[in-house]
């Protein structure tokens, strides 16, 4: 008996060692490409050509100067991305919450049909409507406008779905009734009583909506042709063009600049992001 | 109580209105428009009179029967998805088994989750260009690394080889998504009734038996959900192949989305061909969504009924209270 226990303890020890080796290797695999990106952003092209290094060098300023001397304006791209992502996130979370509230708090005839409809359209790929969308926006003279990248966020089926699940478990109808007795209008009740209850769900969904919009390449790429309207992901595609062909240090610098805001957001909010991912998957 | 539900029902419609309007204008109409363009001869940057084709399905039959690029793009999309999904779900399951194993008690799980999920949050465009630079030839980080490890004797031009290029795209997808899948699966395990695990432990099941007999069957729905959402996501794969090698070398990483983009916004601006390809893609996504919808349907109907009962009960209680 003693022997068996000692043996299983030993095998547990071995197993645990294997687990840690694999997990650390995977963690390194996650870090290494970005580490090289940030390090190479500080190295000269000659240094990058001469081999791999994991320690930063001193050419950050030169790389930045070369980068900015050619049509690459990360600040402009950052602002455009920020405007689009910010407003589309606001639209997405506010109107999705409102739609979810309509689905949960009111008893209307088409409610079930509408919910089924939302489930059905949840997965429509952007590419399925892209050509028609582009032609339509072209006729409205809305290409090179930020509006077609913001307004469609009002209809975000997946967020409605999530908000509805949340409201079903959190909304107490007594509270709404009490507000009615106090003479509050329905929209006022939603804005002042229901929205505050939903803040945790809104925060989670806002992070994901923001990141998704920030990282989106397809729609901005087909709609925006003027340089001063470019978002960061489009700017990244400029780095691959001919203008930076041999300026490796500047290319890495450009990549590092586009990724930096996301790293900051991620390390500040990683706890909520991981919890949000877990929550999103358990909608059964 | 009856009077109340009638008098407030109009707010249900009113509050859904912004969603419905935005959907009709920015999704429904463009999809219909795309479908119509698929039956016409619309092409070129300069607007010209557009005609319906004499053979309305001309664009579709052309694409499916004669366009090798389109067929290659469908094969590539499927191939890249399979190459990324099998290792992705495999590794995610393995890590889930480890992280939820009560006897192993892996420490630092929070930190591991944060690091393994990290690539998912970084802009795919940035990652595509980054990997392009990492694999550059003749001098690039990966070449230097492999040479110093002694894996290769001379620099390899990874990006010129079709199989390698496709493999790298699949690897990037795998690398960006396995952490996400792992977190979803772990959450699924957390949702399993602990009594099941206790019973298994009392019956003397070892870790592997518990995992195969209890954990895996309970995760079936979540794994199906992951499978189908990943398929729909894979179908739309654009940023990575577009910016990694523009679909090259020799169409090896040309996915359906890259094909659609190339048809409509490059070269001869064949909006009709791109629209027809979009519709084919839409049909595939619709079938997959239908499948997902079918899987999720029953549970939701049941839950809605339950919630309705609860609301009714609360309403009755409130009415009595008044």
> Which residues are within 8 A (CB) of B85 and not within 5 positions of it... i.e. 6 or more apart?
B174, B227, B230, B231, B234
As a whole number of Å, the CA-based R_g of chain B is 26
C-alpha–C-alpha distance, residues B314 and B69, integer Å: 60
Task: Indicate the DSSP class of residue A153.
Answer: G
B24: left (phi over 0), alpha (psi -120 to 50) or beta: alpha
At B291 the pLDDT is 82
Contact B139 A280 (CB under 8 A): no
Neighboring chain A residues of B134 at a CB cutoff of 8 Å:
33, 36
The more confident residue out of B311 and A188 is: A188
What would the pLDDT profile of A104-145 be if each residue is shown by its tens digit?
999 999 999 999 899 888 878 888 899 999 999 999 999 999
Average pLDDT, chain A: 90
C-alpha–C-alpha distance, residues B287 and B285, integer Å: 5
C-alpha–C-alpha distance, residues B7 and B319, integer Å: 16
Interface of B with A in 137-156 (CB under 8 A): 139, 141, 144-145, 148
Contact B106 A233 (CB under 8 A): no
Contact A102 B191 (CB under 8 A): no
Chain A within 8 Å of B33 (Cβ-Cβ)? yes
Contact A233 B303 (CB under 8 A): no
Interface of A with B in 231-250 (CB under 8 A): 232-234, 236-237, 239-240, 248
Contact B118 A36 (CB under 8 A): no
Contact A278 B187 (CB under 8 A): yes
Q: Provide the pLDDT confidence category of residue A4 given band limits of 50, 70 and 90.
A: low
Neighboring chain B residues of A259 at a CB cutoff of 8 Å:
122-123, 126
At A3 the pLDDT is 61
Task: Quickly list DSSP for B78-127.
Answer: HHHHHHHHHHHHHHHHHHHHHHT-TTT--S-HHHHHHHHHGGGTS-HHHH
Ranges of residues in chain B whose predicted pLDDT is under 50: 1-6
CA angle A64, B120, A168 (to 5 degrees): 130
As a whole number of Å, the CA-based R_g of chain A is 25
> Which residues are within 8 A (CB) of A33 and not within 5 positions of it... i.e. 6 or more apart?
B119, B127, B130, B131, B134
- Nearest-10 Cα torsion for B201, B207, B210, B215: 130
At A284 the pLDDT is 40
What would the pLDDT profile of A14-28 be if each residue is shown by its tens digit?
889 999 999 999 999
Taking the mean position of all CA atoms in its chain, how far away is CA A216?
8
The H-or-E segment that residue B31 falls in is helix B29-37
Residue B52 has φ and ψ, to the nearest 5°, of -65, 145
Neighboring chain B residues of A123 at a CB cutoff of 8 Å:
229, 232, 285, 288-289, 292
Q: Provide the pLDDT confidence category of residue A282 given band limits of 50, 70 and 90.
A: low
Chain A within 8 Å of B30 (Cβ-Cβ)? yes
Nearest to A214 by CA among A74, A91, A33, A78: A78
Please report how the helices A2-40 and B124-134 are oriented relative to each other, as an axis angle in degrees rounded to 10.
Answer: 90
Closest in A128, A255, A278 to B281, CB measured: A128
Residue B210 forms beta bridges with which residues? none
Question: What number is the average pLDDT over the span A140-167?
Answer: 94
Q: What is the ipTM of this complex?
A: 0.91
Contact A277 B183 (CB under 8 A): yes
* C-alpha atoms less than 13 angstroms from C-alpha of A224 in its C-beta half-sphere: 25
C-alpha–C-alpha distance, residues B305 and B313, integer Å: 12
Residue B40 forms beta bridges with which residues? B52
At B248 the pLDDT is 81
- Nearest-10 Cα torsion for B298, B195, A20, A32: 20
Interface of A with B in 62-121 (CB under 8 A): 95-96, 98-99, 101-112, 114-115, 119-121
For testing the chain B interface, which of A38, A121, A123, A252 should be mutated: the one with the most B CBs within 10 Å? A123
C-alpha to C-alpha distances, A169 to A164, A272, B318, nearest whole angstrom = 9, 20, 18
Question: What number is the average pLDDT over the span A211-233?
Answer: 93
At A21 the pLDDT is 96
Q: Provide the pLDDT confidence category of residue A281 given band limits of 50, 70 and 90.
A: low
Instruction: Calculate how close chain B gets to A214, using CA atoms only, in Å.
Output: 8
C-alpha–C-alpha distance, residues A122 and A187, integer Å: 26
At A52 the pLDDT is 84
Neighboring chain B residues of A27 at a CB cutoff of 8 Å:
111-112, 115-116
Contact A133 B30 (CB under 8 A): yes
Nearest to A270 by CA among B309, B261, B179, B279: B179
C-alpha–C-alpha distance, residues A141 and B306, integer Å: 48
The share of chain A scoring above pLDDT 70, in percent, equals 96
């Amino acid at each position: 008996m003693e022997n068996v226990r000692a043996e299983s303890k030993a095998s547990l020890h071995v197993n645990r060692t294997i687990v840690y080796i694999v997990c650390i290797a995977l963690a390194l695999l996650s870090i290494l490409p970005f580490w090289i990106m940030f390090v190479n952003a500080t190295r000269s092209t000659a240094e990058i050509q001469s081999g791999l290094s994991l320690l930063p060098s001193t050419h950050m300023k030169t790389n930045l100067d070369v980068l900015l001397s050619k049509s690459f304006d990360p600040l402009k791209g950052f602002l455009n991305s920020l405007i689009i992502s910010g407003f589309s996130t606001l639209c997405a979370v506010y109107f999705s919450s409102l739609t979810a509230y309509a689905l949960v708090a009111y008893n209307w005839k088409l409610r079930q049909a509408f919910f089924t409809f939302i489930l059905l359209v949840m997965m429509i790929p952007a590419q399925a409507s892209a050509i028609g969308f582009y032609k339509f926006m072209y006729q409205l003279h809305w290409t090179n406008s930020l509006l077609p990248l913001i307004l469609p966020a009002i209809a975000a089926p997946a967020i409605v779905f999530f908000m509805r699940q949340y409201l079903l478990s959190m909304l107490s109808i007594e509270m709404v009734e009490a507000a009615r007795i106090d003479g509050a209008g329905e929209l006022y009740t939603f804005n002042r009583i229901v929205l505050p209850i939903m803040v945790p769900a809104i925060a989670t969904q806002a992070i994901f909506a923001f990141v998704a919009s920030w990282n989106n390449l397809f729609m901005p790429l087909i709609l925006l042709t003027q340089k001063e309207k470019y978002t960061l992901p489009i700017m990244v595609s400029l780095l691959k063009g001919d203008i930076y062909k041999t300026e490796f240090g500047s290319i890495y610098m450009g990549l590092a600049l586009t990724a930096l805001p996301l790293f900051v957001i991620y390390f500040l909010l990683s706890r909520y992001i991981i919890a949000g991912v877990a929550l999103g998957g358990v909608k059964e | 109580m009856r009077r109340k539900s009638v008098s407030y029902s109009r707010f249900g419609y009113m509050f859904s209105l912004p969603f419905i309007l935005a959907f009709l204008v920015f999704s429904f109409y463009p999809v219909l428009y795309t479908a119509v363009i698929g039956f016409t001869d619309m092409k070129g940057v300069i607007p010209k009179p557009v005609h319906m084709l004499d053979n309305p399905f001309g664009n579709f039959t052309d694409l499916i029967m004669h366009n090798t690029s389109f067929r290659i793009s469908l094969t590539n999309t499927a191939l890249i998805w399979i190459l990324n999904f099998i290792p992705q779900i495999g590794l995610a399951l393995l890590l889930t088994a480890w992280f939820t194993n009560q006897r192993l008690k892996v420490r630092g799980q929070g930190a591991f989750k944060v690091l393994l999920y990290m690539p998912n949050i970084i802009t795919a465009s940035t990652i595509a260009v980054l990997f392009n630079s990492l694999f550059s030839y003749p001098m690039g980080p990966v070449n230097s690394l492999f040479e110093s490890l002694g894996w290769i004797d001379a620099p390899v031009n990874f990006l010129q080889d079709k199989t390698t290029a496709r493999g790298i795209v699949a690897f990037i997808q795998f690398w960006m998504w396995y952490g996400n899948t792992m977190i979803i699966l772990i959450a699924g395990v957390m949702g399993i009734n602990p009594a099941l695990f206790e019973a298994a432990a009392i019956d003397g099941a070892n870790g592997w038996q518990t995992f195969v007999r209890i954990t895996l069957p309970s995760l079936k729905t979540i794994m199906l959900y992951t499978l189908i959402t990943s398929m729909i996501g894979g179908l739309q794969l654009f940023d990575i192949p577009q910016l990694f090698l523009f679909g090259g070398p020799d169409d090896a990483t040309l996915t359906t989305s890259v094909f659609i983009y190339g048809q409509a916004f490059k070269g001869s601006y064949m909006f009709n061909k791109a629209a027809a390809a979009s519709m084919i893609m839409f049909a595939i996504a619709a079938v997959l969504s239908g499948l997902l919808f079918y899987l999720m349907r029953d549970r939701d109907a049941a839950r809605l009924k339950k919630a309705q009962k609860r609301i009714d009960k609360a309403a009755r209680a409130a009415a009595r209270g008044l």
